[in-house]
Amino acid sequence: MEEKIQLELSRYCVPFTPFRKRLEESAICLVTSAAIYHQADEPFNPEGDESFRVIPGGAPTSELRYCDTHYDHACIDQDLNCVFPIDRLHELGHEKRVGGPSERHFSIGFTQALRKLRDTTVPALAKEVEQARPDAVLLTGG
């Protein structure tokens, strides 16, 4: 029998950082939990996957896929941008409303291994995001 462990989440951390740069000059990085991946990469395991995928900033939507059975696909089947707004980000960049997309974006999939997610995946993902040097990060879910 599997032992259930309750994972305590912090209630004291500040969930934001003051944004001091002009949005029109800012590279935006997308980070999603919608299990988005590039077609050249291995799909997420829909039964549970604690890894993450790096998505090239210039990848067209036609090369992106999703692999998650834990949310309704009615909207994403019509437009991937509802959970991973990469086309909207490019449009906003062309309109000079944002600096444009960062060179890399990131995605995680479904997992119930919250401790491993917290202790291993998230720190590694945060390091990758930091190395991508975006000015802002937009988090989306599935």
Which pTM value belongs to this model? 0.86
Flag whether 49 is in a domain.
yes
Residue 15 binned pLDDT confidence (cut-offs 50, 70, 90): low
Average pLDDT score over residue span 121-140: 96
Contact 27, 135 (CB under 8 A): yes
Report the alpha-carbon distance of residue 69 to residue 118 in Å, rounded: 22
- pLDDT-above-90 percentage for the chain: 77
Report the alpha-carbon distance of residue 114 to residue 50 in Å, rounded: 9
Flag whether 37 is in a domain.
yes
Q: Which domain holds residue 97?
A: 29-140
Per the structure, the count of domains in the chain is 1
Flag whether 16 is in a domain.
no
List, as own/partner pairs, every contact residues 131-134 make where C-beta atoms lie below 8 angstroms and the sequence separation is at least 24, other chains included. 132/29, 132/102, 132/103, 132/104, 133/27, 133/102, 134/26, 134/27, 134/28, 134/29, 134/102
pLDDT tens-digit readout, 67-79: 888 888 888 889 9
Single out the residue of 83, 82, 100, 104 nearest to residue 91, CA to CA: 100
How many C-beta neighbours within 10 Å does residue 104 have?
19
- 37 contacts: CB under 8 Å, gap ≥ 6: 43, 44, 53, 55, 64, 65, 66, 67, 107
**What is the gyration radius of the CA atoms in the chain, in angstroms?**
16
Report the alpha-carbon distance of residue 17 to residue 136 in Å, rounded: 10
Residue 25 has pLDDT above 80, yes or no: yes
> Residue 71 has what pLDDT?
80
Flag whether 23 is in a domain.
no
Flag whether 79 is in a domain.
yes
Flag whether 11 is in a domain.
no
Flag whether 39 is in a domain.
yes
Flag whether 1 is in a domain.
no
